Amino acid sequence: MKFLDQVKIYIKAGNGGNGSPSFRREKFIEFGGPDGGDGGKGGSIILVSERNLNTLIDYRYQQHHKAERGGDGAGKNKTGRGGKDLILKVPTGTQVFEEDNKTLIYDFRKDKEKFVVAIGGKGGLGNTRFKSSTNRAPRKFTKGKLGEEFIIWLQLKTIADIGIIGLPNAGKSSLLAAITSATPKIANYKFTTINPNLGVATYDDKEITIADIPGLIEGAHKGVGLGIKFLKHIERCKTLLHLIDITGKDLDISYRQVKNELKNYSKNLINKKEIIVLNKTDLLEKKEVKKIIESFSKNKKSEVMILSTIEKKSISSIKSKLLKYVS
């Protein structure tokens, strides 16, 4: 399924039904009184968050959404049928903005949250409502109120326990595939991942939601590479797993490059809990790995671990550690 994390849509709640100007018409009753019923309420538009959704792509192809109109009132004081509410499903993590795409209306942070984004119009009043001691046969009735209508923006920000970050080709997608049931595209070239991938890792009967964020390069906070488009998906992750290719030329430079991009985008990102994982240790001798770890770990505030995605013991160790970081 294609990924889309921002879309503009038009929504229109249903109008209320009109009241009825009916009068009783019965045999042998020459002057029947008013018996016009009220109109039904128009349907509202309700947004509901779904954990199993991870894209807004459906709203690219259908951008106009209208709820059902309320039914008109009828004789014998019958109230019109209420219009059906229109339910629109969005991924958990979706933010709703006004037409300016700046004013936040609602933020879906949990599964199955509901938000009435447009309220249906009230039904009009039938002529029975206007009967009085001085007006026994009112012809007055009212039309239904208009339902609310808006243009809104939907923006998706991924919500995950762990966000995997790093330079392109660091092995993020391989890690996600190894510790979860996700099936991201994996290849040995830069920007294999061009959209955030979500997976769920299970360890000791507990679940950890993990997001694989496309690789960051220098200038990402300015939009270079895949840039800002996906940096926003890191903001909601509880902990960052900074993955580094241990076979790289200068690990410290690689580490600082990504950290600088996070800092330049948002100071809040730099303060998130972090675990550093040196990947692809199976490509080096054990002595060389040990030497690199000792050198790299100096002056690092975050915990440093090693990983080989082809070794089950290594994968199990990472899962156990991640569980502690989100507990």
242-293: pLDDT as tens digits: 999 999 989 999 999 989 888 888 888 888 899 999 999 999 999 999 999 9
Q: Give the 3-state DSSP-derived string for 228-284, with helices as H, strands as E and coil as C.
A: HHHHHHHCCCCEEEEEEECCCCCHHHHHHHHHHHHHHHCHHHHCCEEEEEEECHHHC
Share of the chain above pLDDT 70, in %: 88
CA distance 61 to 49: 19
Task: Dump pLDDT digits (tens) for 68-84.
Answer: 999 999 999 999 999 99
Task: Give residue for tokens 């128009």.
Answer: 42
Ranges of CATH 3.40.50.300 domains, the chain: 162-326
Each residue's pLDDT tens digit, 198-212: 777 877 778 888 888
CA distances from 154 to 59, 106, 143, 242, 253 (A): 9, 10, 33, 29, 37
**Identity of the amino acid at 255:** Y
What pLDDT is attached to residue 185?
42
Q: For residue 310, how many other CB atoms are within 10 A of its CB?
A: 12
Q: Which residues pair with 106 in a beta bridge?
A: 96
User: Residue 218 above 70 pLDDT?
Assistant: no
The pLDDT mean for the chain works out to 86
Q: What angle do CA 110, 215, 212 make, to 5 degrees?
A: 30
Q: Of 2.70.210.12, 2.40.30.10, 1.10.3720.10, 3.40.1740.10, which CATH number belongs to 1-156?
A: 2.70.210.12
For the chain, give the percent of residues with pLDDT over 90: 54
Domain 162-326 has CATH 3.40.50.300: yes
Please answer whether residues 226 and 212 qualify as being in contact, where contact means their C-beta atoms are separated by less than 8 angstroms: no
Average pLDDT over residues 26-42: 85
**pLDDT at position 221 over 60:** no
Question: Helix, strand or coil for residue 197?
Answer: strand
Return the structure tokens found at 198. Answer: 């979500």
Res 187: pLDDT: 36
Query: What is the rounded CA–CA span in Å between residue 10 and residue 150?
Result: 6
Q: How far apart are CA 90 and CA 7, in angstroms?
A: 11
101-130 mean pLDDT: 96
Q: Which residues pair with 154 in a beta bridge?
A: 7, 96
- pTM of this prediction? 0.75
Residue 190 has a pLDDT of 38
Report the C-alpha gap between 308 and 283 in whole angstroms: 9
Give the confidence band of 229 by pLDDT, cuts at 50, 70, 90. Answer: low
136 vs 170, more confident: 136
Give residue 228's pLDDT.
Answer: 56
Query: For the residues 309-324, what does the mean pLDDT come to?
Result: 88
Host H or E run for residue 200:
strand 197-203
More confident residue, 118 or 236: 118
Nearest 5°: phi and psi at 258?
A: -70, -40
The CA-atom distances, in angstroms, between 40 and each of 11, 99, 278 are 20, 29, 63
User: Do 298 and 326 contact (CB within 8 A), yes or no?
Assistant: no
- Which residues in the chain are classed under CATH 2.70.210.12? 1-156
Q: What is the mean pLDDT of residues 138-148?
A: 97
Distance CA 201, CA 259 (A): 25
